[in-house]
Amino acid sequence: MKRYSFRGFTLIEMLIAVVIIGTVGTAIATAIGGVANQTFSLERKTVANWVASNHITQIRIAQRVDAKVLPEGKINTQVFMAQRQWEIETITQTTDHPWLRRLEVDVYEIAEGERKGPYDHLTAFIGRY
């Protein structure tokens, strides 16, 4: 009588291997998705900071051209930067010095018709001259 010796994997061993590969694949896909979300969030916050910095710089340049005391109050402005619409909320407050104003700048993203954020907040002091 001939004896056959079969070498290979059993069905159970193959199923265990598929489960292990599937688990590792799912873990890797989840990690990559998390990195993508963090990258998008960081990019959005960076652009929001640029929007706020540009806005404050524009106000400072305007002060150089026309040296007057900034009026108190709240102003909302919309700008387009980095393929996105942004809303800048600027609150101007008085200080102890009559020629110095405190600016609180919040930057929101306008996405799908809704205001989201704020993604950045800057405080600046701007004088009359």
What count of other Cβ atoms lies within 10 Å of the Cβ of residue 109?
18
What is this structure's pTM? 0.75
Cβ pair 91, 77 in contact under 8 A: no
Q: What is the pLDDT of residues 91-106, one digit of tens each?
A: 999 999 998 999 999 9
Separation of first and last alpha carbons in the chain = 107
The C-alpha atoms of residue 94 and residue 67 are separated, in whole angstroms, by 16
Please give the biggest Cα pair distance in the chain. Answer: 110
What's the pLDDT score for residue 4?
67
In degrees and rounded to multiples of 5, residue 99 shows phi and psi of -100, 0
Q: What is the pLDDT of residues 46-66, one digit of tens each?
A: 999 999 999 999 999 998 888
For the chain, state the CA radius of gyration: 29
The C-alpha atoms of residue 67 and residue 126 are separated, in whole angstroms, by 11
Token readout for 30 is 């989840």
Cβ pair 107, 119 in contact under 8 A: yes
CATH numbers and ranges of domains, the chain: 11-127 (3.30.1300.30)
In degrees and rounded to multiples of 5, residue 56 shows phi and psi of -65, -40
